[in-house]
Each structure stands twice: as structure tokens, then as C-alpha cells.
Amino acid sequence: MTGRPSPPGGAAAKEAAGAAMEAADAAQEAVAGPAYHRAMKSVPATDRGRASLERILDTACELFYVQGVRATGLDQIAKASKTGKGQIYHFFTGKTDLVLAVVERQTEHVLTAQQPYLSAMSTAGDLLGWADFLVRSHGADDAPIRCPLGALAAELTEDEPALRSALANAFSRWRDAIAQGLAGLARGGVLPADSDVTAHAELLLGAYQGGVLLSRVQGNTEPLRLLLQGAISQVLDRKEEHGLSPGLA
């Protein structure tokens, strides 16, 4: 087993990259507000209202992630968030809009967590470090092996075009963030300059989603590790092992 490779410049560079992204996000939110505001019928104007909304969204994210959208009712969200069903309906027209807001919220969580690795990517070791982070993020014994966005997509039905569009946009943003990281490898000569980084990113994202599904069924992260390792080998056009840390049982 090898340790997780650090992005170029070590922890300081990773922290600086993360801080830069947070600053950019904060500046954008100051102008337009968080992306999940688009799914709301009413945006809170007071600190108390914003605190209530945060509890509702945090609770909905957690319950949808752990037990699924269809198994989670608004009454349960209201009780667990220590708010009220009336407050939920004050902010959202119904459960569908709350789910759309959760998609936006979870997308930001996913991208923010990975951006320090992706924005500092310039070597094969950095790519491995990102993949190792993904595997380790599912290693906690008390956490389900699920993707926050993949779990929502798994419950998508044909008669939910708004949710389908929101999830398609979320996965596109995720793919593009990975592609930007791979572009750093191309600039550093690790990948050919004319590499189709978008196609490579789609492959890596697909390997992650499939790996999470199989890991959930098997109850350990070994399938996720193997699929990411295979996808990375294909992206780097190498056949040898790359030292991705073994999955955590």
C-alpha cells in the first residue's frame, strides 16, 4: 500500500487552491446567491430565516443520502431539522423543489471537496492522489457507500424532467472539473497535448460511479479502487499498476 500522493507543493498548495476556490464561490454567491436559490420560491431575508433554511437543507441532504428521497418525507425532515413543515413550504413549493435544491447543494459539496486535488493536478501522482481521496472518502465504517449525486440519480424516473436536467447539469460540472484537472496533466506533459480530456474525465467519472455501486453491494471499497485504477491506467495509457491504495474493508 502506498500513501496518498500530495498535490504539487504539498499541503500548502492544496490548502491555497481550496481557499482560492472558496473565495471565488463566496464572491459569486455575494452577487447571485447560492445556486440552490433557483429552486426556491422564497429566499430568507433574516439571519433566523437563513439558519432555518440551512438546517432544512443539511437535514434533507443527509436523509436523502442515507435512506433515499422516496423513503424520506417532509414531516421527517421538519422534525429532524427542528423546524416545521410550514417553514419548508415557505421556502419551497413542495418536495420536488427541495430535491432540486439538494442537487445543487450536493454538487457544491462534491466539487468543493475535490477541487484542491483537481486544481493542483500536474503529475500522475496527483491524479492518483485524487482517486485515493475518493476511495478513502467512503472508508468510514458508519457511512453508507453511496455517491451523493448518484444516489439521487438512482431514484430518477421518466416523468421528472426538471430533476433529470438538474442532475445532468451536476454531472457535467463534475466531469468538467475533472477535465480541468487532466488539462493540467497535458500542460505538464503527462498526457499528450491533444488529449481529449473531456472524454478521459467521462471515463473516470463513470468508473467512480460504477465502483461506488459495486462497492455498496459488496460492502467494501475494493471494487471502487480497482475500477479507478483501471480507468487511470487507460487514461495514462499504461498497463502497470499505479499504486492506488487498497480499498478499506
Rounded Cα–Cα distance for residues 38 and 169 (Å): 14
The predicted pLDDT at position 28 comes to: 42
Q: Is residue 243 a contact partner of residue 229, using CB atoms and an 8 Å limit?
A: no
Beta-carbon contacts of residue 110 (< 8 Å; ≥ 6 apart)? 148, 149, 174
Rounded Cα–Cα distance for residues 214 and 195 (Å): 29
What pTM, to 2 d.p., does this model score?
0.80
Query: Which residue stretches of the chain have pLDDT < 70?
Result: 1-36, 39, 41, 141, 238-249
CA-to-CA separations, 74 to 38, 42, 53, 58, 95, in angstroms, rounded? 20, 17, 14, 13, 7
The predicted pLDDT at position 243 comes to: 53
Beta-carbon contacts of residue 177 (< 8 Å; ≥ 6 apart)? 111, 114, 115, 118
| Per-residue cell: 81 | 431539522
Domains and CATH numbers, the chain: 10-30+104-236 (1.10.357.10)
| CA atoms within 13 A of residue 113's CA, in its CB half-sphere | 14
Rounded Cα–Cα distance for residues 58 and 36 (Å): 12
The predicted pLDDT at position 36 comes to: 63
Residue position matching grid coordinates 433566523: 48
| Per-residue cell: 133 | 481521496
Burial class (CB in 10 A: 0-12, 13-18, 19+), 30: exposed
Rounded Cα–Cα distance for residues 96 and 131 (Å): 33
Q: Is residue 5 a contact partner of residue 129, using CB atoms and an 8 Å limit?
A: yes
Q: What is Dmax (Cα atoms) for the chain?
A: 58
Q: Which residue intervals of the chain are DSSP H helices?
A: 10-32, 47-67, 74-81, 85-91, 95-119, 124-136, 148-153, 161-187, 197-218, 222-236
Rounded Cα–Cα distance for residues 183 and 176 (Å): 10
